[in-house]
């Protein structure tokens, strides 16, 4: 049996953990998938955002027309878009594996790992032991089981497969109501597909501030057929060879949607279920989430976990932060660090973009927390006025006593970028007045919408001590 100082299960964020500081250690890196590099690189955040960019360009003629510029969308070359994206990504994956396999201190194992005990792993016919083990196995799309889905399997997709299809479907049904569903609805509708989005409840983008989320969905709904309170109940092959996607509402009434493909976006499953964690004494929460403490330690000594498989936040930037914690703690066992999960931002790259950090207004009301709120329209600052913007805004929530931000929510162009100074303010304890007036805001750039939202908070409720 081979023994290692460190074994890492998963080649996404797990691969990033093994940097030059680990060169003195004998490391095992285990990956079960054919592709190397994890979800984000191969089938997640990177390729999806590479599809969003041409989608954004495809919808730009509509915006240009409002400003007197005549642009025309003549169609999208799906194979060219797809091949450009994966023609760049696939070599990175292949090159990353080749580089690791040539590493002098890293042994790559291909196969599914399972625990024999807290320090022993089985990978196929091999068994290895390690002093420290890091679980970084991520998550996968949740599948759905309805009558007829097996017969239509070649045209039923998840986020893992939809981006590599041979041709763009003329008609696409998307089942789901989260950010993955919203982003793919934007991509395919922008590129020319007739998209129907079906959600089992009357709420899309659950977990986001309702005011900003509803504004996002209302605008996306100009290009996408959105259907609420319906659940997928079956799939049939129609006489013309298309898919008949059958749904049922709360009253039992059935609906038929004819499509060339079906995309299922109903959540993700943490990849903890095939690791035989009980043998290692690793405790798992309901839903398959590995239990970790603030230092990323599991309930088994010497076993760590990070990323989707253990985190409350299924986000790559959170996985990266947790990876840095594990890195430090492995190298500095007498000086452990904790992961800071206080102010985790998120963004939806739809049209329009949606970005958030901190509490929603609904949460503050439920908690009984005192707050003051301000909203600033893009249209009321110089750049937004030049854009002739409609319907986009910044919404800020602040503590009226400490004058710290409690939450920030933005819907509109560049939302994922505009929110960054607000994340910084919350992370480093900057007060609203300091953030608004302690620095220059370039005029007439779009960040002025954030500045004016901060000033709106001050105008709404300005404690006397701020004038001293």
Question: What pLDDT band is residue 463 in, cutting at 50, 70 and 90?
Answer: low
The reply to whether 182 and 53 lie within a common domain is no
Q: Where are the alpha helices (DSSP H) in 293-405?
A: 316-331, 361-367, 382-387
At 39, which helix (H) or strand (E)?
Answer: helix 38-43
- Does residue 211 lie within any of the structural domains? yes
Cα gap 441→425, rounded to integer Å? 15
Residues 11 and 92 in one domain: yes
Q: Which of 3, 341, 443, 461 is catalytic?
A: 443
Judgement on whether residues 98 and 192 belong to the same structural domain of the protein: no
- Label the pairing between strands 405-411 and 126-135: unpaired
Task: Specify whether 167 is located in the same domain as 120.
Answer: no
Q: What is the pLDDT of residues 110-159, one digit of tens each?
A: 999 999 999 999 999 999 999 999 999 999 999 999 999 999 999 999 99
Stretch (H or E) spanning 66: helix 45-66
Q: Is the pLDDT of residue 415 over 90?
A: yes
% of residues, the chain, pLDDT over 90: 96
Asked if 202 and 288 sit in the same domain, the reply is no
Find the mean pLDDT for residues 298-318.
97
- Residues 325 and 260 both lie in one domain: no
**Domain-ending residue, one of 239, 266, 293:** 266
**Residue 103 reports pLDDT greater than 60:** yes
* Residue 288: domain span: 2-140+269-331
Distance separating alpha carbons of residues 81 and 88, to the nearest angstrom: 11
Tell me the per-residue pLDDT of 427-439, one tens digit each, with 9 for 90 and over. 999 999 999 999 9
Strand partners, 408: 357, 396
pLDDT at residue 398 is higher than 90: yes
Give yes or no: residues 132 and 7 share one domain.
Answer: yes
Residue 244, strand partner residues: 236, 258
**Is residue 346 a part of any domain in this protein?**
no
Flag whether pLDDT at 83 surpasses 70: yes
- For residues 255 and 270, is the Cβ–Cβ distance under 8 A? no
pLDDT score at 185: 98
Residue 460's pLDDT is what?
81
Sheet strand arrangement including 372-377? 346-348, 354-358, 405-411, 393-398, 372-377
Total number of domains constituting the chain: 3
Q: Would you say residue 294 lies in a domain?
A: yes
Residue with tokens 């169609």: 75
**252-272: average pLDDT:** 97
Residue 305 and residue 298 in contact, taking contact as beta carbons nearer than 8 Å: yes
135 and 7 in one domain? yes
Q: Does residue 224 share a domain with residue 122? A: no
Q: What is the percent of the chain with per-residue pLDDT over 70, rounded to a whole number? A: 98
Between CA 271 and CA 280 the distance in angstroms is: 16
Residue 414 and residue 289 share a domain? no
CATH number at 405 reads 3.30.390.30
Q: Are residues 326 and 377 in the same domain?
A: no
Instruction: Give the model confidence (pLDDT) of 2-24 as tens digits.
Output: 999 999 999 999 999 999 999 99
Q: Is 208 a catalytic residue?
A: no
CATH assignment at residue 125 = 3.50.50.60
Give the whole-angstrom CA distance, residue 223 versus residue 262: 18
Model confidence at 464: pLDDT above 70: no
- Whether residues 277 and 422 fall in one domain: no
According to DSSP, residue 123 is labeled E
CB–CB of 118/302 below 8 Å? Answer: yes
């Amino acid at each position: 049996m081979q023994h290692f100082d460190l074994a890492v299960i998963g080649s996404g964020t797990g691969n990033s953990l093994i940097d030059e500081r680990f060169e003195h250690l004998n490391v095992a890196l285990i990956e079960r998938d054919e592709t190397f590099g994890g979800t984000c690189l191969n089938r997640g955040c990177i390729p999806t955002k590479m599809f969003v960019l041409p989608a954004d360009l495809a919808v730009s003629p509509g915006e240009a027309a409002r400003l007197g510029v005549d642009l025309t969308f003549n169609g999208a070359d799906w194979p060219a878009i797809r091949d450009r994206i994966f023609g760049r990504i696939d070599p990175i994956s292949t090159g990353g594996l080749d580089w690791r396999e040539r590493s002098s201190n890293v042994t790559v194992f291909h196969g599914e790992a399972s625990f024999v005990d807290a320090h022993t792993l089985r990978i196929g016919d091999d068994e290895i032991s390690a002093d420290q083990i890091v679980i970084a196995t991520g998550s996968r799309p949740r599948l759905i089981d309805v009558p007829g889905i097996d017969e239509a399997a070649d045209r039923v997709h998840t986020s893992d497969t939809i981006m590599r299809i041979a041709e763009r479907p003329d008609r696409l049904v998307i089942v789901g109501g989260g950010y993955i569903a919203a982003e793919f609805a934007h991509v395919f509708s922008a590129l020319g597909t007739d998209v129907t989005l079906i959600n089992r409840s009357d709420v899309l983008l659950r977990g986001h501030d309702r005011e900003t989320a509803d504004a996002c969905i209302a605008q996306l709904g100009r290009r996408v057929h959105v259907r609420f309170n319906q659940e997928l109940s079956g799939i049939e092959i129609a006489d013309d060879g298309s898919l008949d996607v059958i749904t049922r509402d709360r009253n039992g009434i059935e609906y038929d949607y004819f499509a060339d493909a079906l995309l299922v976006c109903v959540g993700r499953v943490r990849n903890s279920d095939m690791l035989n964690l009980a043998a290692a004494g690793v405790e798992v929460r309901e839903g398959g989430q590995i239990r970790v403490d603030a230092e990323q330690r599991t309930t088994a000594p010497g076993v760590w976990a990070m990323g989707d498989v253990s985190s409350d936040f299924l986000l790559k930037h959170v996985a990266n932060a947790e990876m840095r914690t594990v890195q430090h703690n492995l190298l500095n066992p007498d000086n452990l660090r904790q992961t800071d999960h206080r102010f985790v931002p998120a963004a939806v790259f739809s049209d329009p973009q949606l970005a958030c950090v901190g509490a929603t207004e609904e949460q503050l009301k439920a908690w009984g927390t005192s707050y003051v709120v301000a909203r600033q329209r893009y249209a009321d600052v110089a750049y937004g006025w030049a854009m002739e913007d409609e319907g986009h805004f910044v919404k800020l929530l602040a503590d009226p006593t400490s004058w710290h931000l409690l939450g920030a929510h933005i819907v509109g162009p560049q939302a994922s970028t505009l929110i960054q100074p607000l994340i910084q303010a919350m992370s480093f304890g900057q007060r609203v007045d300091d953030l608004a007036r302690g620095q220059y805001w370039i005029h007439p750039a779009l960040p002025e919408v954030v500045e004016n939202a901060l000033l709106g908070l001050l105008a709404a409720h300005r404690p006397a001590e701020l004038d001293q």
